[in-house]
Amino acid sequence: AATKKYQFDIQVKNVSRLCHAKAIVTVNGMYPGPTVYVREGDRVLINVTNHAQYNMSIHWHGLKQYRNGWADGPAYITQCPIQTGNSYTYDFNVTGQRGTLWWHAHILWLRATVHGAIVVMPAQGTPFPFPQPYREQTIVLGEWWNADVEEIEKRGNQLGLPPNMSDAHTINGKPGPLFPCSEKHTFAMEVEPGKTYLLRIVNAALNDELFFAIAGHNMTVVEVDAVYTKPFATESILVAPGQTTNVLVQANRVPGRYFMAARPFIDAPVPVDNKTATAILQYIGIPNTVMPALAQLPAPNDTAFVLSYNQKLRSLNSPQFPANVPLNVDRNLFYTIGLGMNPCPTCVNGTRVLASLNNISFVMPQVGLLQAHYFGTKGVFTADFPDKPPTPFNYTGAPLTANLKTSQGTRVSKIAFNSTVELVLQDTNLLTVESHPFHLHGYNFFVVGTGVGNFHPAKDPANYNLVDPVERNTVGVPTGGWTAIRFRADNPGVWFMHCHLELHTGWGLKMAFVVEDGPGPDQTILPPPADLPPC
Ligand code: C2O
């Protein structure tokens, strides 16, 4: 194992897209930011120096940070932000994980432009469990706004108004030729006929689950969220914000130019956004004047495709990479997801949208929850987040007025060390049904079951997959449906869980778990680093 060092300078840079120039916050002036390359077993030191006028904090999305929440990054959960002119070194080990993950700003909506891929190569001498690709390529999907993203955020968070839709989707920061002034802002990847390529695809968009396809070429899915899967071929993939997907692509078609395309999946009664980002898969030697072939994507509301695609996602579950699904559950949790109108005297119509889990909309604290927990500071949070919603109801039917009442608080759920947890996330009809990609920090979890409508505790668990369910860190809860996940709480610390649609996170669709220390000397939270940013 080696020590890998990176320097991240947070700086503002002028960038032009869609015929507009604007200043954006970047790492090292790059958009998307630099890819972090490490090997399983490495220690990683990333010094972040903040030269911008915004507070900053960086999250290494999907890295478990065992006992080491100090390096996890969500602002006011595991650290206070790095203020202008200050630095902080994220110091962590990458153990027991390999694959594609990503990093992003975890404060305000700055992750719109402050993000990049993380590539964790398998330990030296350990091959991939699939044919060695000839070359690999990171593909970072994103969203672009012509307006200042922090202005858009204020609209959504302070006024409680829905945000403006983004002006473009992007592939490696570029929207592609279907957008104005974007001929030059088109990502192209060159391939040699007959060779196999590994694409490491990240969805860094703020608010859109995205379909992705390549004209004329099937993809073989081999990994999601840095966990190997049973390989399967597909024409399109779905990647929710926060998720990553590795696919193998064979350059086995008539040499030419082929579009790659990304467009949102939206099956909820919200405005449909069907802007398509494109990039080009270009066979070597083919001139740029050749028209690329168009890519076929599922229709924006193709729920059937999404259900069948998710069905196909299975853990590899090989002797070398077993799926250790918890078979018994120590703690059963049931959380309803709600979006509701709430009184707001300072808002435009006197009301605003709040989002909630079990009717609680999470309020961000002023100091880091991890510090408060570690040092026993009182008055920062209460450890009384309920295991169930206040009243059971027909979650996907007409909501009772009583169910619309949302309280606000910084409430967390305490979990005993090493206990096995099952969490059922139930989407509800409070305001609107919508698919929500939920992300848990500090852990991977197994997606043991999912369904549409209301979860039935007496009958649905009988259909769980406890053999080879997909293991990941972010899962899409279906529109008007539920998802059951299981994990073993073996990583002590304070771990954020939230919807990875930034709009919903801002409305309060988040909470945190406090996983208690274990009895062993190596089962406790590590001491904080000396340069941890002060609050
Ligand atoms: Cu990718 Cu809490 O975030």
Residue 532 placed within a domain: no
Domain stops at, among 263, 284, 315: 315
Q: Which of 21-30, 69-78, 194-203, 387-396 comes out lowest in average pLDDT? A: 387-396
Domain check: are 21 and 137 in the same one? no
Tokens of 461: 């668990």
Query: Is there a contact between 298 and 211 (Cβ–Cβ < 8 Å)?
Result: yes
Domain check: are 151 and 96 in the same one? no
Number of structural domains, the chain?
A: 3
Banded pLDDT at 433 (limits 50, 70, 90): confident
Ligand 1 pocket, 106 CB below 6 A?
yes
Place of tokens 């939230």: 498
Strand partners, 481: 452
Per-residue b or e along 308-323, where b marks 16 or more CB atoms closer than 10 Å to that residue's CB: ebbeebbbbbeeeeeb
Residue 436 placed within a domain: yes
Atom of ligand 1 nearest to the CA of 62: 1
Residue 187 placed within a domain: yes
Ligand 1 pocket, 169 CB below 6 A?
no
Residue 323 placed within a domain: no
Q: Is the pLDDT of residue 491 over 90?
A: yes
Q: State residue 398's pLDDT score.
A: 76
Domain stops at, among 78, 99, 123: 123
Cα–Cα nearest to 508, from 349, 344, 331: 344
Ligand 1 pocket, 217 CB below 6 A?
no
Question: What's the average model confidence in pLDDT over 4-32?
Answer: 97
Residue 510 placed within a domain: yes
Domain check: are 119 and 145 in the same one? no
Banded pLDDT at 271 (limits 50, 70, 90): confident
Domain check: are 434 and 494 in the same one? yes
As a whole number of angstroms, the distance between CA 31 and CA 501 comes to 20
Q: Is the pLDDT of residue 48 over 80?
A: yes
Tell me which of 159 and 99 has the higher pLDDT.
99
Contacts of 322 (CB under 8 A, 6+ apart): none
Atom of ligand 1 nearest to the CA of 102: 1
Alpha carbon separation from 113 to 81, 140, 169, 179 (Å, rounded): 17, 11, 12, 19
Ligand 1 pocket, 495 CB below 6 A?
no
Atom of ligand 1 nearest to the CA of 474: 1
Which helix (H) or strand (E) element contains residue 337? strand 331-343
Ligand 1 pocket, 61 CB below 6 A?
yes
Tokens of 353: 């949208």
Domain check: are 85 and 137 in the same one? no
Domain check: are 338 and 480 in the same one? yes
Q: State residue 341's pLDDT score.
A: 75
Atom of ligand 1 nearest to the CA of 74: 2
Query: Is there a contact between 420 and 458 (Cβ–Cβ < 8 Å)?
Result: no
Domain check: are 266 and 367 in the same one? no
Q: Is the pLDDT of residue 115 over 80?
A: yes
Ligand 1 pocket, 88 CB below 6 A?
no
Q: Is the pLDDT of residue 461 over 90?
A: yes
Domain check: are 140 and 285 in the same one? yes
Q: Which of 112-126, 261-275, 299-313, 447-461 comes out lowest in average pLDDT? A: 261-275
Q: Is the pLDDT of residue 297 over 70?
A: yes
State residue 50 phi and psi, 5-degree precision.
-95, 105
Q: Which of 76-80, 117-121, 211-215, 339-343 comes out lowest in average pLDDT? A: 339-343
Q: Is the pLDDT of residue 371 over 90?
A: yes
Q: State residue 401's pLDDT score.
A: 65
Q: State residue 406's pLDDT score.
A: 87
Residue 360 placed within a domain: yes
Q: Domain holding 37: CATH number?
A: 2.60.40.420
Q: Is the pLDDT of residue 403 over 70?
A: no
pTM beyond 0.80: yes
Atom of ligand 1 nearest to the CA of 104: 1
- Compute the Cα dihedral for 232, 238, 243, 245 and give only its sign: positive
Distance 94 CA to ligand 1 centre (A): 18
Q: State residue 284's pLDDT score.
A: 97
Banded pLDDT at 400 (limits 50, 70, 90): low
Domain check: are 118 and 168 in the same one? no
Residue 90 placed within a domain: yes
Pairing of strands 188-191, 277-283: parallel
Q: State residue 164's pLDDT score.
A: 76
Pairing of strands 219-224, 227-234: antiparallel
> What's the pLDDT tens digit per position in 279-292?
999 999 999 999 99
Domain check: are 117 and 135 in the same one? no
Ligand 1 pocket, 111 CB below 6 A?
no
Distance 500 CA to ligand 1 centre (A): 6
Atom of ligand 1 nearest to the CA of 241: 1
Cα–Cα nearest to 48, from 124, 134, 106: 106
**Amino acid in position 90:** Y
Q: Which domain holds residue 63?
A: 1-123
Ligand 1 pocket, 74 CB below 6 A?
yes
DSSP designation for 462: G
DSSP designation for 137: E
Q: Which of 127-131, 347-351, 406-410 has the highest mean pLDDT?
A: 127-131
Atom of ligand 1 nearest to the CA of 242: 1
Cα–Cα nearest to 245, from 237, 234, 255, 233: 237
Query: Is there a contact between 489 and 417 (Cβ–Cβ < 8 Å)?
Result: yes
Neighbours of 268 (CB within 10 A): 17
Cα–Cα nearest to 157, from 104, 115, 108: 108
As a whole number of angstroms, the distance between CA 483 and CA 426 comes to 7
Distance 439 CA to ligand 1 centre (A): 6
Question: What's the average model confidence in pLDDT over 336-344?
Answer: 83
Domain stops at, among 101, 123, 145: 123
Pairing of strands 351-357, 210-214: unpaired
Alpha carbon separation from 44 to 427, 497, 529 (Å, rounded): 38, 24, 14
Cα–Cα nearest to 8, from 89, 73, 119, 128: 89
Q: Is the pLDDT of residue 163 over 80?
A: no
Q: Is the pLDDT of residue 349 over 80?
A: no
Residue 267 placed within a domain: yes
Distance 443 CA to ligand 1 centre (A): 12
DSSP designation for 223: E
Ligand 1 pocket, 496 CB below 6 A?
yes
Average predicted confidence (pLDDT) for the chain: 95
Query: Is there a contact between 342 and 355 (Cβ–Cβ < 8 Å)?
Result: no
As a whole number of angstroms, the distance between CA 182 and CA 176 comes to 6
Domain check: are 183 and 258 in the same one? yes
Question: What's the average model confidence in pLDDT over 435-464?
Answer: 97
∠ CA 102-107-112, nearest 5°, is 55
Q: State residue 458's pLDDT score.
A: 96
Share of the chain above pLDDT 90, in %: 88
Atom of ligand 1 nearest to the CA of 505: 2
Question: What's the average model confidence in pLDDT over 208-233?
Answer: 98
As a whole number of angstroms, the distance between CA 276 and CA 154 comes to 26
State residue 534 phi and psi, 5-degree precision.
-75, 155
> What's the pLDDT tens digit per position in 302-337?
999 999 999 999 999 999 999 999 999 999 999 999
Banded pLDDT at 402 (limits 50, 70, 90): low
Distance 222 CA to ligand 1 centre (A): 23
Ligand 1 pocket, 498 CB below 6 A?
yes
Domain check: are 55 and 119 in the same one? yes
Ligand 1 pocket, 242 CB below 6 A?
yes
Tell me which of 390 and 234 has the higher pLDDT.
234
Which residue minimizes the CA distance to atom 3 of ligand 1? 61
Query: Is there a contact between 113 and 25 (Cβ–Cβ < 8 Å)?
Result: yes
